[in-house]
């Protein structure tokens, strides 16, 4: 059997009977102070243990050649029509994609950026093979020249008024002119305005009647609008649009289109002109009611320097650079995957400053005010982006928490000799940032905790002993019992 007396001899914590101990006020005070110090140091150590520590390293981006970069954006253009707004992408490798529509949505907006209807759907846009009659023959003007003074009178006088908004300097307008005048003459002969009065063709020179063209939101030339009893508005999918003609531009096609418009209208009753009962084969599609457009969606691009360009584009129209205003408001412009609120919270826990540059342009506006010095202005944004990866190590395994792109942005207004555009030039960095969480050892936390408690307890005991002996010595001196 084990000898208990020998076992007791190795006891580190031998007990002294309570009757042999003496309590003092100084000891009680030191004990209270020591307890508060222990609690304070315990809180500090616990806070240090709970604090997240990370390491940051910069390495070469390991992206592969077939890896694409997603760009999400939401841009509002108060003065650019959805009818001609085009999203184009190009890069230094020669990629050039024009008028991307598959992943893009457009909404007509007013000057205050308020959406005026449902999503804008241009519908089927035919490939125009005939842009006009090629002839040297001069035709007398068959169409009526319209101005701000007589436009309203003509539009209300005739059930159907088809207007060619043109510019003399425009190539496509000049190609259309012979066939338009010839078609107008034929329609005038078939439907004499003085006798029949159901239809008339007109024209507006937008270089002279700039205010009239601006009032009807004309941005591309030539634009052929259809007015029914004074209005070119047509209700489509719950909101109003301008009724426009986008068919072939040779004489025969124009005459056939006009015949289709006139067919449902009876001579004795012009009231039917308010209804669109024309043949559905007529090549028409709505033009947006308001002059602004909100463009949202995403595109995928290669991870090389490139451009995302918003501009006015058409294969069969020309644009006056002085009349194009690409002022815009940025609601969103980000690279890479979208961050969920939960993911963003976790990222902020690890890296408080992470994510601030993920959507740096959001909330910024770039407005070009009307004025002679503010025409032909292109807005350019130069974006330098870097890839950031965050790794989490809460256990023995390492887990990728996030892959995001942050960027810096520099913007400028540039006077251009071409049609103004909104250009976003992006340049990915060849380097990437790795942020890794540094895990803390629980055993190290316990060791520090024991050191704090034991150290404070020991120091308090030493101080108590010194204080107790000092008080006893002072009392002996006062009583004259010192040696």
pLDDT of residue 88: 95
Q: Are strands 85-91 and 233-236 parallel, antiparallel or unpaired?
A: unpaired
In the predicted model, what is the mean pLDDT of residues 348-364? 76
Q: State the catalytic residues.
A: 170
Name all domains of the chain by residue range, CATH numbers in brackets. 17-51+441-479 (no CATH), 55-111+291-438 (2.60.470), 144-288 (3.40.30.10)
pLDDT of residue 373: 63
Cα gap 262→250, rounded to integer Å: 19
pLDDT of residue 238: 45
In order of 221, 330, 437, 441, the CA distances from 54 in angstroms are 59, 33, 4, 14
Residues 6+ apart with CB under 8 A from 53: 437, 438, 440
Q: What is the pLDDT of residues 49-78, one digit of tens each?
A: 887 777 888 999 877 656 789 999 999 999
Nearest residue to 377 via CA among 436, 428, 420:
420
% of the chain exceeding 90 in pLDDT = 26
Band of the pLDDT at 1, cuts 50, 70, 90? Answer: low
In the predicted model, what is the mean pLDDT of residues 396-423? 83
Question: How many Å is the maximal CA-CA distance in the chain?
Answer: 144
Assess whether pLDDT exceeds 90 at residue 104: yes
**Sequence-separated contacts (24+) of 62-66 with Cβ below 8 Å:** 62/432, 63/303, 63/387
pLDDT of residue 331: 94
Residues 6+ apart with CB under 8 A from 184: 141, 142, 143, 201
Band of the pLDDT at 369, cuts 50, 70, 90? Answer: confident
Nearest residue to 472 via CA among 34, 27, 31:
27
Using a 10 angstrom Cβ sphere, with 0-12 exposed, 13-18 middle and 19 or more buried, the burial of residue 199 is buried
Q: What is the pLDDT of residues 12-56, one digit of tens each?
A: 667 777 766 677 777 788 888 888 998 999 889 888 888 777 788
In the predicted model, what is the mean pLDDT of residues 406-419? 89
Average pLDDT score over the chain: 81
Nearest residue to 146 via CA among 247, 83, 215, 87:
215
In the predicted model, what is the mean pLDDT of residues 434-460? 85
Which residue is listed with tokens 């960027």? 407
Q: What is the pLDDT of residues 236-247, one digit of tens each?
A: 554 456 788 888
pLDDT of residue 136: 40
pLDDT of residue 271: 44
Model pTM above 0.85: no
Band of the pLDDT at 339, cuts 50, 70, 90? Answer: confident
């Amino acid at each position: 059997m084990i000898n208990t007396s020998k076992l007791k001899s190795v006891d580190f914590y031998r007990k002294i009977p309570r009757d042999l101990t003496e309590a003092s006020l100084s000891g009680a005070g030191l004990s209270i102070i020591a307890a508060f110090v222990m609690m304070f140091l315990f809180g500090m150590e616990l806070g240090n243990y709970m604090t997240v520590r990370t390491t940051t390293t910069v390495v070469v981006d390991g992206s592969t050649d077939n890896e694409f970069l997603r760009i999400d954006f939401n841009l509002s253009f108060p003065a650019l029509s959805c009818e001609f707004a085009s999203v184009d992408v190009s890069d230094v490798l020669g990629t050039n994609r024009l008028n991307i529509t598959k992943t893009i949505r457009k909404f007509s907006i007013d000057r205050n950026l308020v959406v005026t209807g449902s999503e804008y759907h241009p519908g089927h846009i035919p490939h125009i093979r005939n842009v006009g009659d090629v002839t040297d023959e001069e035709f007398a003007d068959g169409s009526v020249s319209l101005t701000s003074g007589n436009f309203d009178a003509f539009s209300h006088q005739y059930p159907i008024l088809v207007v060619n908004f043109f510019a003399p300097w425009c190539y496509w307008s000049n190609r259309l002119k012979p066939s338009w005048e010839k078609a107008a003459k034929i329609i005038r002969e078939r439907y004499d305005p003085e006798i029949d009065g159901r239809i008339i063709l007109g024209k507006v020179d937008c270089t002279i009647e700039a205010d009239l063209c601006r009032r009807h939101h004309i941005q591309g030339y030539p634009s052929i609008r259809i007015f029914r009893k004074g209005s070119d508005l047509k209700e489509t999918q719950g909101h109003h649009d301008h009724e426009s003609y986008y068919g072939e531009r040779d004489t025969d096609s124009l005459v056939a289109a006009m015949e289709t418009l006139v067919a449902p209208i009876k001579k004795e009753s012009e009231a039917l002109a308010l209804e669109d009962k024309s043949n559905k084969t007529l090549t028409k599609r709505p033009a947006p009611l308001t002059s602004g457009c909100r463009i949202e969606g995403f595109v995928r691009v290669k991870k090389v320097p490139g451009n995302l360009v918003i501009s006015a584009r058409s294969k069969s129209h020309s644009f006056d650079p002085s009349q194009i205003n690409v002022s815009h408001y940025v609601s969103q412009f980000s690279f890479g995957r979208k961050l969920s609120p939960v993911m963003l919270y976790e990222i902020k826990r690890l890296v408080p400053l992470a994510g601030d540059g993920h959507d740096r342009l959001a909330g910024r506006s770039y407005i070009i005010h009307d004025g002679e010095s503010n025409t032909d202005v292109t807005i350019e944004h130069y974006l330098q982006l870097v890839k950031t990866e965050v790794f989490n190590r809460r256990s023995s395994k390492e887990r990728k928490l996030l892959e995001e792109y942050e960027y810096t942005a520099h913007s400028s207004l540039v006077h251009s000799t071409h049609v103004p555009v909104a250009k976003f030039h992006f340049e990915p960095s060849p380097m990437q940032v790795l942020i890794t969480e540094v895990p803390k050892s629980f055993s190290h936390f316990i060791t520090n905790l024991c050191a704090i408690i034991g150290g404070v307890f020991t120091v308090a005991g030493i101080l108590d002993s010194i204080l107790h002996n000092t008080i006893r010595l002072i009392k002996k001196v006062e009583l004259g019992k010192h040696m």
